[in-house]
A and B are shown apart, each in its own frame.
Chain A
Amino acid sequence: MSMNRRTVVKAIAAGGALVGASVMMPRAAMAAWAESAFKADKQDAAMKALLGSDAAADSAEVTLKAPDIAENGAVVPVTVRTKMANVESISIFVENNPNPLVAEFKIPAGTEADVSTRLRMGKTSKVTAVVKADGKLYSAAKEVKVTIGGCGG
């Protein structure tokens, strides 16, 4: 074998770095889940952490469908839709929840910016949908009244 000590050490070091990298990789991929944004207890802080800015322009092109009165705060159906082009993501915030950020949906090219889901609301609050399109933020908000909260036990 022509491998001398130096190359062996190097190989081990490189291998170690590789192992380290592969351990780190899934974590890095996981970073898609923005912990600081989901843990933030203020809507503007959550928006900043998730989208880099809390300045979203109100836009009539963003449609937020939510009930006026949610009888059961544990299940509030919400639909966000927009006809804008180049939509990157749709995020939903509930202002008065302990953690306002509800969910972030990534919209790859070819997928329609039309997402429905169901969310929990602790109490009556403004629900805001933020659409990121072409690097800019657009939002639509709606007040939803909750008669029975969905966060407590």
Chain B
Amino acid sequence: MAKKILKVKAKASGGKTKVKMMAKHIMESGQRKDKKTGELIPAKFLQELKVEHAGKVVFEANLGTAVSKNPYIAFNFAGGAKGEELTMSWTENTGASATETAKIK
């Protein structure tokens, strides 16, 4: 399995959990040219990102090429407690995918 690309900060307070995610990813849009060869660099970007908590999907994102490099996404969901686990799964447009976990603080 590839190295973890997601950095997740999840904090539970007042009955809800705030999640901030940052993925380390180039998000190549497929519109940039290689400066040396003048050829287009093929697109390589995160397509889907799903966050699950206690077996329930709490957030789902479908991303396009116009999302910044090293995508940052923040959202809140109801529930969640300190020490519980979040499961993130992502898929790249190349077909690569992985599942990562993070603990709620």
> Measuring CB to CB, which residues of chain A are less than 8 angstroms from any residue of chain B?
30, 32-34, 38, 74-76, 94, 97-99, 101-108, 110-112, 114-121, 150-153
Contact = CB atoms under 8 A, between A and B. Distances in A.
B contacts with A: majority SS: strand
B4 interface: no
Given A104-B61, A104-B62, A75 B68 contact: yes
Given A98-B31, A115-B74, A108 B67 contact: no
A110 B77 contact: yes
B102 interface: no
B57 interface: yes
Nearest to B48: A33
A75 B69 CA distance: 8
B32 to A, nearest CB: 4
Contacts of B62: 32-34, 38, 103-106
A102 B74 contact: no
B55 to A, nearest CB: 12
Give the interface size bracket for B toward A. Answer: 20 to 34
B63 interface: yes
Given A105-B61, A111-B78, A118 B66 contact: no
Interface in B57-75: 57-69, 71-75
Contacts of A103: 61-64, 66-67
Given A75-B68, A111-B58, A32 B77 contact: no
A116 B59 contact: no
B101 interface: no
A15 B85 CA distance: 37
Nearest to A101: B64
A112 B71 contact: no
B10 to A, nearest CB: 13
Most B C-beta atoms less than 10 A away, residue of A102, A115, A116, A118: A118
Contacts of B58: 108, 110-111
A111 B75 contact: yes
A103 B58 CA distance: 17
Given A108-B57, A108-B58, A153-B32, A115 B75 contact: yes
A119 B68 CA distance: 5
